[in-house]
């Protein structure tokens, strides 16, 4: 249930904002903290949670660490959500088949 870790990690609004900020380009903790009402240590803690959920990766560059989105980080969540879509499509297909059969039976009676 790796998708549960992703849901938990993204449930926090500040963490979600940090994650979304990384969409454009890799950033350091300092850059992510700028303009946010949270401290650098708080941003670091949020990034640790995102890294633990396999949503971001970190790359050391000199004396800084650059964080970026892992493109495969949302795969488990996507598969989980897709399973609901597949169930809905299957139920829709079954309902269409049921209605078509009912219509054919009605047409035969006439």
pLDDT in tens, the chain (110 residues): 689 999 999 999 999 999 999 999 999 999 999 989 999 999 999 999 999 999 999 999 888 999 999 989 999 898 888 887 777 788 888 888 888 888 787 777 76
pLDDT value for 104? 81
pLDDT value for 90? 81
pLDDT value for 110? 65
Distance CA 93, CA 101 (A): 12
- Tokens standing for 38? 């949270």
Distance CA 26, CA 64 (A): 12
pLDDT value for 109? 74
Name the region of 49 (left: φ>0; alpha: ψ -120 to 50; beta: rest). Answer: alpha
């Amino acid at each position: 249930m790796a998708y549960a870790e992703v849901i938990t990690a993204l449930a926090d609004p500040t963490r979600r904002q940090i994650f979304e900020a990384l969409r454009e380009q890799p950033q350091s903790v300092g850059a992510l903290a700028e303009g946010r009402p949270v401290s650098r240590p708080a941003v670091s803690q949020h990034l640790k949670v995102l890294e633990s959920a396999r949503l971001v990766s970190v790359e050391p560059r000199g004396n800084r660490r650059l964080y970026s989105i892992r493109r495969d980080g949302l795969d488990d969540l996507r598969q989980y959500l897709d399973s609901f879509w597949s169930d809905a499509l299957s139920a829709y297909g079954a309902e269409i088949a049921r209605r078509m059969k009912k219509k054919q039976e009605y047409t035969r009676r006439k």
